[in-house]
A = this chain, B = another copy of it.
Amino acid sequence: MADTAVTEHDLYPTRVAEERDTVRRDTPTIAGTDRPGPFTADELRRHDERGFSILPGFLSSEEVSASLGELGRLQDDPALRNDERLVTEADTGQVRSVFDVHLLSDLLGALARDGRLVERARQILGTDVYLHQTRINYQPGFTGSGFYWHSDFETWHAEDGMPTPHCVSCQIALTDNLPYNGGLMVMPGSHRLFVPCVGETPQDNFRSSLKAQTVGVPSHARITEMAEAYGIEQFTGPAGTALWFDSNIMHGSGNNITPFPRSNIFMVFNSVENRPEKPYSGTAPRPEHIAHRTDTTPL
A binding-site residues for B, Cβ under 8 Å: 141-142, 146, 148-149, 178-180, 182-183, 185, 220, 223-224, 227-228, 232, 234, 252-260
- Residues of B contacting A182 with CB < 8 Å? 254
User: Would you call B258 and A185 a contact (CB within 8 A)?
Assistant: yes
- Min Cβ gap A175→B in Å is 14
- Residues of B contacting A223 with CB < 8 Å? 142, 259
In this complex, what residue of B is CB-closest to A256? B254
- Min Cβ gap A268→B in Å is 23
- Min Cβ gap A253→B in Å is 8
How many copies of this chain does one complex carry? 2
- Residues of B contacting A254 with CB < 8 Å? 180, 182, 254-257
How far is B178's CA from A149's CA once the two chains are assembled, in angstroms?
17
- Min Cβ gap A218→B in Å is 11
- Residues of B contacting A142 with CB < 8 Å? 220, 223
User: Would you call A180 and B234 a contact (CB within 8 A)?
Assistant: yes
Known: A252-B257, A253-B257. 4 other contacts (CB 8 A): A179-B180, A227-B259, A227-B260, A254-B257
User: Would you call A257 and B148 a contact (CB within 8 A)?
Assistant: yes
- Residues of B contacting A234 with CB < 8 Å? 179-180
In this complex, what residue of B is CB-closest to A226? B259
In this complex, what residue of B is CB-closest to A182? B254
User: Would you call A257 and B149 a contact (CB within 8 A)?
Assistant: yes
When the two chains form the complex, which single residue of B252, B255, B259 contacts A220, counting CB atoms closer than 8 Å? B259
User: Would you call B180 and A255 a contact (CB within 8 A)?
Assistant: no
How far is B183's CA from A220's CA once the two chains are assembled, in angstroms?
20
> Which of A146, A223, A254, A256 has the most C-beta atoms of chain B within 10 angstroms of its own C-beta?
A254
- Min Cβ gap A140→B in Å is 10
How far is B234's CA from A232's CA once the two chains are assembled, in angstroms?
18
Q: List 21 A-B contacts (CB under 8 A).
A: A141-B220, A141-B224, A142-B220, A146-B257, A149-B257, A178-B232, A179-B180, A180-B183, A180-B185, A180-B232, A180-B254, A220-B259, A227-B258, A227-B259, A227-B260, A228-B259, A232-B258, A253-B257, A254-B254, A254-B256, A254-B257
- Min Cβ gap A198→B in Å is 16
- Min Cβ gap A170→B in Å is 22
- Residues of B contacting A253 with CB < 8 Å? 257
In this complex, what residue of B is CB-closest to A224? B259
- Residues of B contacting A252 with CB < 8 Å? 257
With A180-B234, A232-B180 in contact, is A146–B255 under 8 Å at CB?
yes
- Min Cβ gap A257→B in Å is 5
How far is B293's CA from A133's CA once the two chains are assembled, in angstroms?
60
In this complex, what residue of B is CB-closest to A233? B180
- Residues of B contacting A224 with CB < 8 Å? 141, 259
